[in-house]
């Protein structure tokens, strides 16, 4: 059985890292797994990058198509609220050309495919079974990647609040309709099945009109627990100029400008902490502007899993203040390093952060509740160490690459047998 994972990137971004880890997990149990990507950053020989070179006529067509796509979206620039994530039109410049270049496979596994795979030609031209691993909500919405309290995707989108639109037939309705046409036959023929890493995202997919008739499974993300494990951090606090008596809180996100990641809520929580002996360490491409008097060390973007595991091990608590999230890799990485987690009771976070076992949950989007939860966690060293040890056990039992890979293998085999009949 050969599986090809289709992903915009192979290593940059949380969704890409999750896809790459699944590919490695399948390879580790002896499956023929490959990736086909638009952008390649790894040196893995089983990752093939799409050749974007084209002739002058294709380049001319691409120029006009890009302008058309930009015009469709730019009309909403003045009405679109700030602080939102990207909005995707489910169209790409390469379209059919990418599909024509797909490596042969028994099963295709779609991941995060923005700007790479156009669903319309993909489902028209391929006949192999398809598993779609959801890394956010975009595959079943009219363009947004997280709904931010809008439930229009449970109907047919339109009047999109993320576009600032009051028009029923706006861009989101157009994108939704195109996806519905693309998916319809594959779902009816039993050729498309959906995997959600979290119970929350699975339920949202089932509620959507686009995936309501497709089988939706829950298979959590996995990670290399032999790379992410508790490490010796002697001397590291001193090297980072963190006072020896300070507890370390760790925050990891590519951008604090993304409102969904909730850095503003963490900042509000830190502003009123009773225990002032706390330091914040942050990791990500963009340095957050911390406006409270808490010692803060920003380490920038870190691509090395080994180095990441060192800083997870350094922390007394990992804090994830996301307003909405799927099954964040960062939570699993922290748990694998024996560092318990504080987060909001939202999205897929409660799947991993289990009160009394692996961490503490605060009331969603409530900075005061987050502050009180952090204080409670920091004041009980015994409970924190106990939950940190349990974090490691839970990862070894439920979230290794091999556990994840075997679940996917079972799904692929059943889907192949089903489509041979």
Among 147, 145, 370, which residue's Cα sits nearest to residue 262? 370
Assigned token pair, 88: 């995707």
Four-residue CA torsion sign, 6, 12, 15, 18: positive
Q: How far is CA 162 from CA 83, 125, 181, 261, 313, in A?
A: 10, 32, 23, 17, 38
The Cα–Cα gap between 416 and 232 comes to 46
Assigned token pair, 297: 């060390």
The pLDDT, as a whole number, for residue 15 is 94
Phi, psi dihedrals of residue 118, rounded to the nearest 5°: -90, 115
End-to-end Cα separation, the chain, in angstroms: 17
CATH superfamily of 2-222+401-420: Glycogen Phosphorylase B; (3.40.50.2000)
53 touches 44 (CB < 8 A): no
Cα 165–110–172 angle (5° rounding)?
10
The Cα–Cα gap between 255 and 371 comes to 22
- In the chain, CATH 3.40.50.2000 covers 2-222+401-420, 236-398
**Strand 192-196 with 130-133, pairing:** parallel
The Cα–Cα gap between 141 and 176 comes to 6
Q: C-alpha 237: how far from its chain's center?
A: 30
pLDDT in tens, the chain (421 residues): 999 999 999 988 899 999 999 999 999 999 999 999 999 999 999 999 999 888 888 888 889 999 999 999 999 999 999 888 899 999 999 989 999 999 999 999 999 999 999 999 999 999 999 999 999 999 999 999 999 889 999 999 999 999 999 999 999 999 999 999 999 999 999 999 999 999 999 999 999 999 999 999 999 999 999 999 999 999 999 999 999 899 999 999 987 778 899 999 999 999 988 666 899 999 998 888 888 888 999 999 998 999 999 999 999 999 999 999 999 999 999 999 999 999 999 999 999 999 999 999 999 999 999 999 999 999 999 999 999 999 999 999 999 999 999 999 999 999 999 887 6
Q: How many CB atoms lie within 10 A of CB 57?
A: 8
pTM of the predicted model, to two decimals? 0.94
Tokens 């902490």 belong to residue: 273
- Name the H helices within 208-258: 236-239
CATH superfamily of 236-398: Glycogen Phosphorylase B; (3.40.50.2000)
The Cα–Cα gap between 407 and 331 comes to 21
- 3-class DSSP state of 20: helix
Q: How many CA atoms lie within 13 A of 168 on its CB side?
A: 2
């Amino acid at each position: 059985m050969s599986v090809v994972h289709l992903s915009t990137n192979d290593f940059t971004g949380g969704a890409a890292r999750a896809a790459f880890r699944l590919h490695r997990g399948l390879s580790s149990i002896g499956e023929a797994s490959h990736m086909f990507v638009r952008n390649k950053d790894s040196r893995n020989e089983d990752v093939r990058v799409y050749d974007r070179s084209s002739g002058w006529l294709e380049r001319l067509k691409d120029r006009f198509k890009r302008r058309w796509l930009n015009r469709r979206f730019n009309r909403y620039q003045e009405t679109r609220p700030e602080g939102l994530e990207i909005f995707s039109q489910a169209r790409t410049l390469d379209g059919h050309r990418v599909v024509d270049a797909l490596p042969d496979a028994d099963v295709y596994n779609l991941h995060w495919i923005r700007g790479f795979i156009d669903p319309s030609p993909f489902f028209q031209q391929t006949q192999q079974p398809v598993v779609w691993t959801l890394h956010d909500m975009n595959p079943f919405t009219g363009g947004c990647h997280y709904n931010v309290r809008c439930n229009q995707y449970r109907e047919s989108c339109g009047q999109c609040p993320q576009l600032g639109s009051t028009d029923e037939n706006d861009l989101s309705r157009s994108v939704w309709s195109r996806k519905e046409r693309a998916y319809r036959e594959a779902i009816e023929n039993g050729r498309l099945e959906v995997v959600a890493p979290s119970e929350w995202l699975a339920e949202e997919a089932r509620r959507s009109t686009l995936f309501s008739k497709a089988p939706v499974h829950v298979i959590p993300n996995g990670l290399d627990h032999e790379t992410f494990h508790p490490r010796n951090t002697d001397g590291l606090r001193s090297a980072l100029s963190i006072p020896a008596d300070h507890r370390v809180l760790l925050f990891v996100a590519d951008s604090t400008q993304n409102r969904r990641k909730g850095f503003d809520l963490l900042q509000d929580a830190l502003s009123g902490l009773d225990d002032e002996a706390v330091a914040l360490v942050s990791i990500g491409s963009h340095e957050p502007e911390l406006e409270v008097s808490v010692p803060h060390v920003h380490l920038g973007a870190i691509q090395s899993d080994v180095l990441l595991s060192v800083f997870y091990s350094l922390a007394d608590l990992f804090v994830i203040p996301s307003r909405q999230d799927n099954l964040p890799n960062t939570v699993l990485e922290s748990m694998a390093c024996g560092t318990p987690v504080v987060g909001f009771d939202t999205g897929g976070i409660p799947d991993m952060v289990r009160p009394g076992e692996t961490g503490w949950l605060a009331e969603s989007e409530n900075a005061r509740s987050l502050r009180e939860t952090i204080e409670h966690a920091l004041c009980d060293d015994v409970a924190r160490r106990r939950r940190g040890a349990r974090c490691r056990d839970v990862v070894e039992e439920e979230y290794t690459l091999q556990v994840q890979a075997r679940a996917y293998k079972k799904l692929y085999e059943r889907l192949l047998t089903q489509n041979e009949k």
